[in-house]
A and B are shown apart, each in its own frame.
Chain A
Amino acid sequence: MTDVRVPETDPFESAAPERGGRGPASPATGSFGTGDWLKWAWRQLTSMRIALVLLFLLALGSVPGSILPQEGTDAAGVQQYFTSHPSLAPLLSHLGLFDVFGAPWFASIYLLLFVSLVGCVVPRTFRLAGSTRTLPPQAPRNLARLPASAEYGTALSPAQAAEVAARVLSGHGFRLRRPAPTLPAGSAAPTGPAGSAAPTGPAGSGYWVSAEKGYLREVGNLLFHLALLGVLVAIALGGLFGYKADRLLVQGTSFADTPTDLDEFYPGRLVTAADLPPFSITLNTFDASYITSGAQRGQPNSFDAQISYTASPGGPVRTDRLEVNRPLSVDGAKVYLIGHGYAPEFKVTDARGQVVFDGAQPFISGTTGNFLSQGVLKVTGAEPEQLGFSGVFVPTAVDVNGTLESVFPAADNPVVSLIAYAGNLGMNSGPAQSVYQMDTAGMKQLTAAPQLLQIGQSLKLPDGQGTITFTGYQQWVSLAVTHDPGQLPALICGMAALGGLLLSFVVRRRRVFVRASTGPQGTTVHVGGLARTDASGAFEDEFASLAAELRSAHQQAAQDPSAQDPPAQAQAAQDQAAQDETAQDCTAQDQAARDETAYDQTGQNQAAQDRPAQDQTGQNQTAQSPGQAAPVRHEGE
């Protein structure tokens, strides 16, 4: 994200229009070709501002996805919305608001944000690589002008003083830069503190050490942006290759993780039936225990589903237990226990005496009512007429003023209440039906009032239509199967983003310069330093202790003759022009970006700060204002 700042604050912005260059910054200035428009558009797209706007839009765009029913997860809800809002619904549907996450406009926000991030991070990667290779700038001429500075005399020669300072700074993990060996230092090393061979010339000459530390800040910054990209990729992975499914499983039965054997199946865009991990799960037993006394009576204590499963057909059978928030992990998928209920068991014989149903039928309950559960039993195979039963299962039945209520969620006194129907269930053609609902349009009610049955009791249907026996009950659990290949990458990237952000906030880029020159009272050591974004003021303390350490090192070296060897000037100077980190900065730290401008100017002639920004180039030695003439002359003496 290019930080589109006012050009005046950033003398390194090559595209600033004030320079009359070819770089486009705003379409308002001058003649603007297609290429310029494209460049301008790219610049805008990759700018911090637009990225934030896109991020906001992404958040805003997902709001209707949580307010309105969505096709993928709640198709019935969408149907209902269409019937209840006949004029509004088609409009919303046209805007894709019933399938927000598949809508083209949502995808375009997502992709634009992705491009914006890539457009920011890629150039930044290269700049970081460049910045980690470049050496700190040459020491400014007048270190006293820096935010932190110190000055003291030493008995060492300037060359020796610089050497000792380099050793100290290097010991603190600073990256160093020293004058090039061609400069008048090595051979013409002064013989004593009062030596007259003091260097003259531009800022690049003399005895000095430039030191810089805190490159990790850039690494953190970069890590943050890369990790943000990673999060987007991980979410896309989940959307393309993940799936969600629900399955109601009655005690003693099994299911396999394949679309035909799942109740609800929401595949990702690139998921096919064969991509699902081929596990199967059998529910052996399910136990729910409840608090039996006190105010909390009837509240659940614990749920415990004992299962056996195979990861693939023919594989070894393993056993495990599912509890709430303790899912089963199998072959990349997670199986959660999300609900439970009762499935009363019935045996039905038809008018011809044939057994036409014998098994458990899951009933469902609301959130209240102690698992008073409702359901239907559709006996399609009954002859000559199909039979249907609409029923209520009461786990612990108590007669309260003539109505049956459940007073406890456990099945302590299970009773079913049934209404019987005969006729056509409407299942030989037409759309798929819910197993919890019955269309009684083609049926006639056989029993006027609901008939109560306890376990083992039978109800004889009138006119010899058959018999239904309540044979017992089973418990069922509902399981949620999720497979999100992006989950772990998203977590890792999220943590990396946080770590990167922390690094970039905690670590400061800071520079320390030491310059030793020969004055009337012998060698004077000037120490100066500055930090980028030093809000906490911690750099002042660091600088103070560094300066003190330099001073004591110099004192110690002056007393120790072995340390007074002529220094070797090994560090070669490098082109300063490469040092332009402030340009196109895409961090969220605008204030920091402004500070960086001043920070980077330390590599320039300090005098140039007083001049208009657009005059500042590389190592402009001619730009000194008259006010700075005195120290230069002083240094030349």
Chain B
Amino acid sequence: MPRAPVIRARRRTVVLAAAVSAGVLLIVVLVVGWGGSGKSDVTQVDGSTSAVLYTAGHRPMAPDFSGTTLTGSKLSFSSYRGKVVVLNFWGSWCVPCRAEASTLAAAAALYRSSGVVFLGVDVRDTTASAVAFTRSFGITYPSVTDPSSTITLDFTSVVPIAGTPTTLVIDRTGRIAGAVFGATTYPELTTILAKVTGKAADEAVGR
């Protein structure tokens, strides 16, 4: 029968085509699934959907930056090495930034004694509006202006900063230990700081 080998050949190609299609589907599913799955190097802060802690050994190095503060003096991030730094990206135009401003101002005052430094990065803003903002909310810690978002850009390469405000907590070795994406609440900030400073919130603020 001369037909037999033809049938076999055809069945082979059909099976092959099915296998290739299945393979392609599998790859698509894997790629999409893998892209959607969370990262293992962060853990959510309890009771929060927007605050994360980086697990030890997976803390990304914070990029260095320097700039001019709202009051016109120079600021270099590297001069704060050895201290725990809370770095807040904000703008006077941003509604959630106004919502979190009092919390940050209060926390900055409370943690000053335990050596935690608060810094701000003012993005997409005009100096007059930003100064008025700090005056309104009683913020005394310095903020550097980032008119062309270069500081934000540098940090985005290590932390997925997707919006303003974003608050980062940087440990004594200059690595990013925790982050709050969106308006920071006091419990989120104290949980992260407790982990980074190794002191419970009450102890750290000297109560």
Contacts and interface: CB of A to CB of B under 8 A. Distances in A.
Interface of A: 12, 14-15, 21, 23, 39, 42, 46, 111, 114-115, 118-120, 122-123, 126-127, 130, 236, 240, 253-261, 269-270, 272-274, 276, 278, 280, 282, 313, 347, 354-359, 378-383, 427-433, 435, 575-578, 580, 583-584, 617-619
Contacts of B3: 14, 577, 617-618
B6 A14 contact: yes
Interface stretch (B12-20, B71-79, B189-197): B12-20
A423 to B, nearest CB: 15
Interface stretch (B91-99, B103-111, B167-175): B91-99
Interface in B106-165: 123-124, 126-129, 131-133, 135-136, 147-150, 152-154, 156-158, 160-164
6 contacts: A15-B7, A21-B7, A118-B20, A256-B153, A355-B128, A429-B98
B97 to A, nearest CB: 10
Given A273-B156, A430-B95, A359 B161 contact: no
Interface centre among A21, A347, A380 (most CB of B within 10 A): A380
Contacts of B92: 380-381
Interface in B7-54: 7, 9-10, 13-14, 16-18, 20-21, 24-25, 28, 31-32, 35
B128 A272 contact: no
B153 A429 contact: no
A618 to B, nearest CB: 4
Contacts of B93: 378, 380, 435
Given A12-B6, A23-B7, A258 B153 contact: yes
Contacts of B28: 111, 236
Given A23-B7, A256-B149, A431-B95, 20 more contacts: A14-B3, A39-B14, A119-B21, A120-B17, A123-B13, A240-B31, A253-B147, A256-B152, A258-B153, A259-B162, A260-B123, A261-B149, A270-B32, A272-B160, A278-B153, A313-B153, A356-B129, A381-B135, A577-B6, A618-B3
A127 B89 CA distance: 61
B198 interface: no
B160 A122 contact: no
Contacts of A358: 126-129
A272 B24 CA distance: 24
Contact of B149 (A269, A280, A430, A617): A280
Interface residues on B, range: 35 or more
Contacts of B18: 42, 119
Interface of B: 1-3, 5-7, 9-10, 13-14, 16-18, 20-21, 24-25, 28, 31-32, 35, 89, 92-96, 98-99, 123-124, 126-129, 131-133, 135-136, 147-150, 152-154, 156-158, 160-164, 166
B160 A577 contact: no
A122 B16 contact: yes
B186 to A, nearest CB: 16
A165 B55 CA distance: 81
A274 B148 contact: no
Contacts of B1: 617
A260 B96 CA distance: 14
B132 A354 contact: yes
3 A-B pairs with least C-beta separation: A381-B132, A254-B148, A618-B2
